[in-house]
Structure 1
Amino acid sequence: MLLNVSYSDKDITRKIDASVGKPFPLRERFAMDGIGSPKLFITETSVEIQNLLILDNNLNSCNIELRPKGIIVRFRSLLETYGLVIPYYKLTLYKGDMAVHSIHMDHHYIKVISDTKAVQKFFKKLLDQKANNTPTSIEDL
């Protein structure tokens, strides 16, 4: 789900926590060697996200936060911050040619440049988290 996360709203926080879990505790963040991605540069997006990004002339970039049951892809448009909340069971990752990773959920997608070792290391960590935390049956949801 695509949400405006600029302001502290308890309803939006509850939706996010229900979908991808509460943020990792500090101890787990250190054990995982961080839960956030480096700055990712966006090359292509789905129509709904593109309509938000074209509102300003800034360089399109995003970051990814790992959560226990999913990820949040955050990006800015004008003075607002938007979050694409993706549970692991809906997350699909593709690695394209020319060092591009594609993040898909339902009809939303974001393609980002993954040309550095830090970005590639983060995507490996993301794939490991997805493999360890994706439900294996309907009852696990």
Structure 2
Amino acid sequence: MVVNITYRNKQIDKKINEFIGQPFSLLEKIKMKGIGTSKMQILEANKALEDLFSPHLDTRYCYLELRPKGLIVGFQSVYKTYVWLIPFFYLNIYFNSGLLSIYSKQDFMKMKPPFNGSVDKKYLKKVLVARADYLGKNQFRNLN
């Protein structure tokens, strides 16, 4: 789900919090040693996400933020700010040769760190562990 958060209001915040969970508290963020990434350069996205980008922008950037029930991918397009909300049960992450690919249902985005940087593998591990914990506790219980 992609949400325009340029002008935030309580209804949008409530929808985001219901969909992927409340933001972590400051103490939780410190214990986790951070919940987000530095900016990442967007290389490719599916048509629905691509249509939100301005055709005039040469380089597009995004960031990732971890939430208790999912992941936020935030990006800007000229004067608008969007977040792509991905619940853990739809999240697929692939990391290959320096490129990070994120998939959710029919949407995808491929990105890399700017300026010949490297993807923070500790952060990816943190996201995958949080996803596994969430799915193990809430979704796929043995029904036998």
State whether residues 93 and 100 of structure 2, in contact with CA within 8 Å, keep that contact through their aligned partners in structure 1: yes
Distance of 2:120 and 2:41 partners within structure 1? 11
Q: How far did 1:8 drift?
A: 1.4
Distance of 1:108 and 1:2 partners within structure 2? 10
Q: How far did 1:128 drift?
A: 1.4
TM-score, structure 1 as length reference:
0.89
Distance of 2:122 and 2:130 partners within structure 1? 12
Distance of 2:58 and 2:9 partners within structure 1? 26
Larger Rg: 2
Q: How far did 1:56 drift?
A: 3.1
State whether residues 56 and 77 of structure 1, in contact with CA within 8 Å, keep that contact through their aligned partners in structure 2: no
List per-residue Cα deviations over 1:101-134 (Å, max 9, x = no partner).
1101111111011564552222121111111122
Q: Please identify runs of 4+ aligned residues in structure 1 that moved more than 6 A.
A: none
State whether residues 99 and 112 of structure 2, in contact with CA within 8 Å, keep that contact through their aligned partners in structure 1: yes
- In terms of fraction of residues, the more helix-rich structure is 1
Query: Given residue 140 of structure 2, which amino acid in structure 1 is its aligned partner?
Result: S
Identity of aligned residues (%): 33
Root-mean-square deviation over aligned CA pairs: 1.7
SS in 1 for 2:49: helix
What residue ranges of structure 2 are gaps of 5+ in the alignment? none
Matched residue, 2:122: 121
List per-residue Cα deviations over 1:53-85 (Å, max 9, x = no partner).
133324211001111110110000011100000
Matched residue, 1:107: 106
Matched residue, 1:39: 39
**In structure 2, which of residues 129, 134, 139 is the aligned counterpart of residue 136 of structure 1?**
139
